[in-house]
Amino acid sequence: MANQDLHIAIVGAGMGGLACALALAKKGFRHIEVYETASNLGFVGAGIQLAPNMARILDRLGCWADIEKEAVDLKETSIRQGSSDEELTLVDLGYVRGEYGYPHMVGHRSSLAGSLFEGCKREKSIKFFFSTSAEQVDAWSPKPTFRAKPRNGEPYTVTADILLAADGVKSIIRAQMLKELKVDADIQDTNQAAYRIMLTRDEMKHDPELLELIDGDRATRWIGEKRHIIAYPVSNKQIYNLSTAQPDTNFAAAPSATYTTKGSKAAMLSTFADFCPKVQRMLNLVPDGEVCEWKLRVHSPLPTWIHGCVALVGDACHPTLPHMAQGAAQAIEDAAVIAEALALMPARDPQTINKSLRVYEKIRKERAETLVEMAAASGRVLHLGESAAREERDRQFAAAREKKGSVPDKWADAEIQKHVYGHDCMKITQDSFAEIFAGL
């Protein structure tokens, strides 16, 4: 029997789980099952950055063209003082397409998740089990086994050859794996939270300054002490997306299970009360009762992502602050590498599966964790209060405008982009699988 006959179970139909299913199907795997707690994809009303390292993979999976049709091609990034709207630096993004083969685009999350899902639906080998939660892993090897609980039905046992846990930052499979491995690592509070806001063209069109924002090919980051807002147009410029970061006060006393909550508009306005009038006018457009706040949590680095024939994927193993805009991109890189590695396995016994999953970990772990660290570091720099360090940062922003030195906002720095966007994880896996496998 070929590798492609292996039974692969995926838990979670987020960006990581969907990308795993599609990437494996494209490699010819014939028995792929996806278990998802929610009754459907449950689209979050928010934008997402579609960096070239993500686009390259999506293109090879056959679902980039649809996403690209309604995404917005960013030509520049403006980083501004939140209080005064003064521009600290302007960074060119127009070079990205020529340099990396794909542009730096931004889109709607539903467009990304929807295209991945449509791609999956075209593959006969992928079967979805919505409204079904993985509850408990009973075996990790030789055949990973878990209990699946349909929302309105009796639990049943799923036995697979490979289990991929793409169950997000709250991953119960990660928690069980760590317990099994007697590892003491836990979810970490970042003390940061985010509002996610989408304004329509209709809401903005009467205000020339706001219209200019939605019509531009530009991401704007307004920064202030302990807070910032990043904003860009999505959906063919019909929607302006804002994502904020601020100290977490509302969740501080909330139970750890709570990750999103309806926020108070008054609290949101007061959090950004010292930001410039343009920002104030946008925040004021959010209808009362539609303020949604997200808790931002990460996890202390894990000693391993693999146990037996089970692998963690995406936010389950490297949740990140959003300041590098790479969380979903990294989950998609995980998926692409897993599919390449499993297709290259020289045999299909549990030891070979485990070793091949460890090749995935070897290729992915350091890169993903570096980006997690970079996102945290960037947040610290963006959120500086009045100090000598902030003066130095702003001097660096000004120098970067003249192309002298790096941009302190790492997400916007061309040298960093070289590593993030220029990385072809599929090619790396194809080129290095045999050597890494032999060395394990």
Ligand X SMILES: Cc1cc2nc3c(=O)[nH]c(=O)nc-3n(C[C@H](O)[C@H](O)[C@H](O)COP(=O)(O)OP(=O)(O)OC[C@H]3O[C@@H](n4cnc5c(N)ncnc54)[C@H](O)[C@@H]3O)c2cc1C
Which residues would be at the binding site for ligand X (CB under 6 A)? 11-17, 35-38, 48-49, 133-134, 166-168, 172, 194, 196, 243, 294, 296, 314-316, 322, 325-329, 331
Q: How far is the CB of 281 from ligand X (least distance, A)?
A: 22
Q: How far is the CB of 438 from ligand X (least distance, A)?
A: 30
- The Cα angle at residue 367 between residues 245 and 93, in degrees rounded to 5: 60
Q: How far is the CB of 386 from ligand X (least distance, A)?
A: 26
| End-to-end alpha carbon distance in the chain | 24
User: Do 315 and 327 touch, CB atoms closer than 8 A?
Assistant: yes
Residue 246 or 396 having the CB closest to ligand X: 246
Q: How far is the CB of 186 from ligand X (least distance, A)?
A: 17
Residue 52 or 314 having the CB closest to ligand X: 314
Residue 189 or 207 having the CB closest to ligand X: 189
The whole-angstrom separation of Cα 309 and Cα 144 is: 6
Question: Which region, left, alpha or beta, applies to residue 332 given φ > 0 means left and ψ of -120 to 50 means alpha?
Answer: alpha
The whole-angstrom separation of Cα 92 and Cα 414 is: 9
Residue 108 or 355 having the CB closest to ligand X: 108
Q: Where are the alpha helices (DSSP H) in 135-276?
A: 172-180, 201-204, 208-215, 265-271
Q: How far is the CB of 361 from ligand X (least distance, A)?
A: 15
User: Do 24 and 338 touch, CB atoms closer than 8 A?
Assistant: yes
Q: How far is the CB of 433 from ligand X (least distance, A)?
A: 23
User: Do 137 and 173 touch, CB atoms closer than 8 A?
Assistant: yes
Q: How far is the CB of 363 from ligand X (least distance, A)?
A: 17
The amino acid sitting at 106 is V
CA 305 to chain centre: 17
The whole-angstrom separation of Cα 238 and Cα 72 is: 10
Residue 259 or 398 having the CB closest to ligand X: 259
The 3-state DSSP class for residue 134 equals: strand
For 35, list phi and psi in degrees, rounded to 5: -105, 125
Residue 54 or 279 having the CB closest to ligand X: 54
